[in-house]
Amino acid sequence: MALNKKPLTGMKDILPEEMQIRDYVIGVIKDTYGKFGFTSIETPCMENITNLTNKQGGDNEKLVFKILKRGGKLNLAEAEKEEDVVDAGMRYDLTVPLVRFYSNNAANLPTPFKALQMGNAWRAERPQRGRFRQLMQCDIDILGEASNLAEIELILATTTTLGRLGFKGFEIRINDRQILKAMAAYSGFAEETFDNVFIIVDKMDKIGMDGVEAELLQSGFTKDAVDKYLELYMGLENSENGMAYLAEKLKDVLDLTVTEGLQEIIDSVTATKTSDFKMVFDATLVRGMSYYTGPIFEINIPGFGVSCGGGGRYDKMVGRFTGNDVPACGFSIGFERIIMLLTENGFKVPGQPAKIAYLIEKGVSGGRLCEIIAKAQEERESGTQVLVVRMNKNKKFQKEQLTAQGYDTFKEYYKEELKK
């Protein structure tokens, strides 16, 4: 069978030009988050399959790359169900591994614990623009902080990072899962159907109010419940203060502290932000993960049709491992989409050193070669990036390629001095 030089569908090779941008962005992320007190950790790329399929990860649990048992543990002849042959999977995000990590190492970690993770995740989804089956994720999380100080710090750290990367005029859309649940309860939906309702309302920006109404009715919900539910959203459209409107309408099913806490997040971030963005309350924001328990948020960049990052509070996840709940909140930057936007807009890494290429003709060797390399070493010590390569026969094409890589100065060395 012939070897295949193409990467697998949904995965890609990264060329040097893009890798330079990725390295720069990673550096900005680590530097910025470090200034906010986040510390780096690392978790394995594979997790126990039970951790990845515990009905907390929403649709991502349907996209797990599953791993067969190995050696004597794999008995295909006697296997009757999936768990007989599968015991692990590739992580689909960094939150589940983080919670397992914290549950296993909490005794050795400070409280609150501010974690920074950067690493690949894998999802067997349909590849599309800005979405791959292997994707780099950059997450910050705060575990052990019950107050909304966690949300404020996470939003400020993330937006400061985006500002340093040149993004302006973007939005942080924010909502609260408790508001979503209160709206559903007020309308008469049964609690066990809430997640199905949320999946449909999450499509509001794509299919509109009429589309949401049609899908809810097709799903078997009563017209009375659907009408009452959509009346809330129509009231929001006509209200100058959506949060105050919902606080009044839902006062019998929603604790006032929920809207007050959300407003405090919005006001605090707006008053202390250092980047150009707006905080926007959006009652249609759902976030797909069912593990969210409180405030949720997403990054919306103008002109880009999908979210470029998001997160929220997940106070019940640690308890699934340990039996004791720990308040937790996180924010993930959509790294691959950010890189795509920067690349498409011709982003150039700032502060790059001078780049010089030494072209050495074939035949230059011995003492003279050592002199040339020594000179290159001196320039490198002074901060210059020096590439030392043999001169190609087609020198013009070689220079064109090097120029495209950012080399703007060339020094040519020939075996015969007269050729200079």
The full DSSP string for 88-142 is: EEE-SSSHHHHHHHHHHHGGGS-SSEEEEEEEEEE-----BTTB-SEEEEEEEEE
Q: What is the pLDDT of residue 160?
A: 98
Q: What share of the chain is helix, strand, coil (3-state, %, to 5)?
A: 45, 20, 35
**CATH for the stretch 16-344:** 3.30.930.10
Q: In whole angstroms, give the CA distance from residue 330 to residue 310.
A: 8
Q: What is the pLDDT of residue 145?
A: 97
Q: In whole angstroms, give the CA distance from residue 200 to residue 219.
A: 10
Q: What is the pLDDT of residue 289?
A: 73
In degrees to the nearest 10, what's the CA dihedral of 69, 74, 77, 79? Answer: -50
Q: Where are the domains of the chain?
A: 16-344, 355-419
Q: In whole angstroms, give the CA distance from residue 177 to residue 162.
A: 25
What parts of the chain have a pLDDT lower than 50? 418-420
Q: Say if CB 234 and CB 209 are below 8 A apart.
A: yes
Q: In whole angstroms, give the CA distance from residue 283 to residue 112.
A: 29
Q: What is the pLDDT of residue 126?
A: 85
pTM: 0.89
Q: What is the pLDDT of residue 73?
A: 84
Q: What is the pLDDT of residue 420?
A: 47
Identify the helix (H) or strand (E) that includes residue 47.
strand 46-48
